[in-house]
Chains A and B, each alone.
Chain A
Amino acid sequence: MNKNLKKILLGLSLIFISSIIIYPIFLMFRISVSNPSDIFKPFTEKSLFFNSDGLTMEHWKNVYNSGLLLPALIKSLLVATFVTLIAVIVAAPAAYVIARIGNKKIKYLFIVSLFISRVFPEVAIALPISVRFLSWNLIDTNLGLILAHLIRVLPYVGWILVGTFEAIPKSLEEASFVDGAGRVKTLINIIFPLSLPGVSVAAMLVWLESWNEFTYALYLTVTENTLPLQTYYYINRGGIFNSAAYATIITVPVIIMTFVMQRYIKSGMLSGGVK
């Protein structure tokens, strides 16, 4: 009896937790395909799950036809892709060097400085950056936003990749030296292929971070919105259906990538701590 009760309690709590986690995502999708008559009902008649007036693709058509989706989508895609490329090119070599530093104290210092530059509040950095970018004519440009996103992203990639490179045994390099390969050659032929899985996971995380980024975009944009900013714009104007559609669009690549990466993600990677 006691055991059965326990089982039921366990099942109930699992269902309770799962529904709280899933419901908001369901709601977002549901609103984006609902008729206004369902959503704007007086709240005593609203249903939590079901639409009495059926579904509609109207809002998706509106979003597509408004002419605002494509520029925002392209800007977000371009910025995220370039941020990823530059971040990996700049941070991977540095991470490799940090991973190979023999002196423990110096190494610790480098890692801590990456950690600290990651946790500075954005609102404090974005102000001087936006003033500076204004005089450099970088407001509202892709380049400006790429440079700003790199601020957030570079220490993060560097920090993840230090772990990746540390996992590659040093003996492999030494063997390559013994075989007479130079340092540059060893890097390209031995280290680079071995680190590729770790680098790709880091690249995906960076891409997502830039894709989702809001604060710097808010500071550095006047008219050329990214997808998150476009969503914010609709929230401010009370455009509930448009914001739901935009939010869904932002979420799709995120969910795909998260499922791809789930096997490789370790808790430490995301928290950004020093271990």
Chain B
Amino acid sequence: MDEIKKRGCEKMKYLKQYWLEILMITPLFVYILGFTVMPVFTNLKNSFIDQRYGRRYDILTSKISDIKYDIKNSQNQEEITEYEKELAIAQNELDNLKKSDYSGFTFENYKKLFQTRDFRKGVFNTIAITLTGLLIQFIIAMSIALLLTNEFKGKGFFRTIVLTPLGIPTIVSATIMTYIFDISGYLNVLFYKLGLISEITPNWGQGGWLSIFMVVFADTWKVLPLMVLLFIAGLESIPKSVHEACSIDGSKSWYKFFTIILPLMKPHITIALILRAIDAFRIFELPLILAGTATTPVISTFTYMEYDRQNYNLSAASGTILTIIILIFVFSYLYVVEREKGEEKA
């Protein structure tokens, strides 16, 4: 008994000492809990509800609440009895629905997802965009970062130019890319002027690898500055003495890059690539605006399209799959960061 009292006392003391801190931190985490964590779980729950049940349920419940609202605001007694009849019917329907075969836990949505051609295509496209994007962005960003380690005239100006797309909103970059990748757009004009194509022009929006390339190009243009910044930070973290030792040895710069700089930058590269992979998997505006969902769906635009068609439960299932993939990336990222920290200490 005393023990409990003592513990309670300690709790009170804790509260008294830290009341201000608790007051300061609570709003943020309550918001995150209510508006981020809860929706994610609602989504998970909805993904296990049959589509036929889910839609009917939504319609009936909104109908019932409408009728209840009408009853409340109606003065006419006759009208009210009329409404109550309707209410009873709707209520009855809802009860029947709850007893039907569709109600309850089901894997139907997930089964349906993997039978849907657009979703399978979406998964393929998402992975393709992520992998090719990561590879291209890594090579270009690393080259620019290496360029920027040299001293040359106008370096500051060049740096500013490279960083420009950082601020350009994704919606704006998507808009511009529609002008460039249009069938008579400016990329095809450039190809024509260079003599690479004649009258027959490649249609970038037709789907397949052409569209994947288009999305990757648009994405690369937008995220390159960030990658360059991360790689510059990585290059700067390599001690100067390493560079000097290499130049005394007289080793070739390519050799130096692959045997010394790259291994030393591995932690920076891993972190940058995983962060990029997280963003690339969530990619939404660019494929939606540039390629459309008909030819080139990705997981997120597929999720949106199913929402737009009011297939909420199917959309929830697809959203849940995306969430799980992202979480896998996040935890591998945390694992890598932790391991690096451990190595630094050791």
Contact = CB atoms under 8 A, between A and B. Distances in A.
B150 A10 contact: yes
Contacts, number: 244
A154 B199 contact: no
Interface in B303-346: 303-304, 307, 312, 315-316, 319-320, 322-323, 326-327, 330, 333-334, 337
Given A93-B25, A97-B24, A267-B226, A27 B334 contact: no
B284 interface: yes
Contact of A235 (B154, B178, B221): B178
Contacts of A2: none
Interface stretch (B36-44, B76-84, B92-100, B130-138): B36-44
B170 A212 contact: yes
A21 B179 contact: no
Contacts of B37: 117
A77 to B, nearest CB: 15
Contacts of B278: 119
Given A10-B150, A117-B37, A250 B169 contact: yes
A78 to B, nearest CB: 18
A184 B21 CA distance: 11
A37 interface: no
A188 interface: no
A22 B161 contact: yes
A186 B127 CA distance: 51
Interface in A109-151: 112-117, 119-132, 135, 147, 150-151
Given A42-B184, A235-B289, A127 B172 contact: no
A172 interface: no
Interface stretch (A11-19, A53-61, A62-70): A11-19
A25 B188 CA distance: 18
A247 B175 contact: yes
Contact of A214 (B38, B170, B271, B275): B170
Given A47-B189, A94-B26, 16 more contacts: A13-B147, A21-B221, A24-B176, A27-B186, A28-B172, A94-B25, A97-B24, A113-B32, A121-B282, A121-B319, A123-B284, A151-B36, A228-B171, A251-B168, A254-B168, A274-B333
Interface in B19-73: 20-21, 23-29, 31-32, 35-40, 42-43, 46, 58, 62
A243 interface: yes
Interface residues of A, number: 87
A24 B180 contact: yes
Contact of A215 (B161, B193, B285, B312): B285
B232 to A, nearest CB: 8
A8 interface: no
Binding site secondary structure of chain A: helix
A117 B39 CA distance: 11
A215 B319 CA distance: 14
B147 A151 contact: no
Nearest to A228: B171
B32 A117 contact: yes
Contacts of B285: 214-215
Contacts of A114: 32
Nearest 9 CB-CB pairs, A to B? A124-B319, A258-B167, A93-B24, A212-B169, A267-B229, A43-B184, A94-B28, A128-B39, A128-B42
Contacts of B271: 273
Contacts of A151: 31, 35-36
Contacts of B164: 21-22, 25, 255, 258
Contacts of A247: 171-172, 175-176
A44 B284 contact: no
